[in-house]
Amino acid sequence: MLLGVLLVILAVLAAVIVAAPFLRQKVGSADVEKGVHVYKDQLSEVERDLEQGSIGKEEADLARVEIQRRILNAAKTDGSEAVSLGGHWHYRIVTGVAAVVI
């Protein structure tokens, strides 16, 4: 009897450990907005450095282009799925993985 209870507890524990990565939240749009805000701050720093003479015009242009590229990349990868897999696909995956582990 005790062995059966112990095996059930271990099986549930193993299923939770395996299923945990599937249940984590994805990067939301709030995280993307924070990243874009940081890049906008970097753009203002480049402008300030250019006004102070810390960097040249060519360096400022290169920095602006790189920061703008990063802003576009952050906006593209906003955590949304490219392919629609249905409403609750991750719960189905978790159930299947947990069943296999048990």
Q: What is the pLDDT along the chain (102 residues), one digit of tens a residue?
A: 899 999 888 888 887 777 777 666 555 555 666 777 888 888 899 999 999 999 899 999 999 999 888 888 877 765 554 455 555 666 777 777 777 766
Residue matched to tokens 């450990």: 17
Ramachandran assignment for 86, one of left (phi > 0), alpha (psi -120 to 50 degrees), beta (any other) = left
pLDDT score at 48: 92
CA distances from 22 to 27, 35, 60, 67 (A): 13, 24, 43, 32
Please say whether the beta carbons of 22 and 94 come within 8 A: yes
pLDDT score at 81: 47
